[in-house]
Amino acid sequence: MPIRDAVEGDIEDICSMIEEHARYEGKNDLVLDRADMARHLFGPDPKAWVIIAEVDGVAAGMAFCSWNFSTWEAKPGIWLDDLFVRPDYRRLGLGTQLLKELKARTDGRVEWDMQEGNEKAAAFYAELGAEPVPGWVRYRWRG
């Protein structure tokens, strides 16, 4: 089950998996602009990147990421915006492989958000040795 960097030819699978994840989370109306996403991922000034988990040549899961930087650690790290494994491919270890690949790409932090109450995800992350960050609340300011 290889993990590889996404290429421009993966844009349909990437967008489809993001839309599938949105539906799984109860947001049924998300439809992404493929050209816009391709420009942000593969254009001359990429803003994010994706790694793909494959099973028998099929894009079975992905991690959608961008770089961040910790001033206190003076190291770059990875912001994981979206981790998704398609339902037919769950329980094969793909989520673990994707996260381990991210950890191998930085000696800084790998960070992400999780919705409150997602006990399955919390147990999965704890099993990998990840911990919630106590005392911090995420804020969002939209343009």
- Supply the angle between the helices 34-42 and 11-24 in degrees, to the nearest 10: 110
**Is 70 strand, coil or helix?**
strand
Compute the distance between CA of residue 27 and CA of residue 46 in angstroms, rounded to an integer. 26
Compute the distance between CA of residue 63 and CA of residue 105 in angstroms, rounded to an integer. 13
Q: Are strands 110-112 and 58-70 parallel, antiparallel or unpaired?
A: unpaired
Please give the positions annotated as active site.
Answer: 125
Compute the distance between CA of residue 83 and CA of residue 12 in angstroms, rounded to an integer. 16
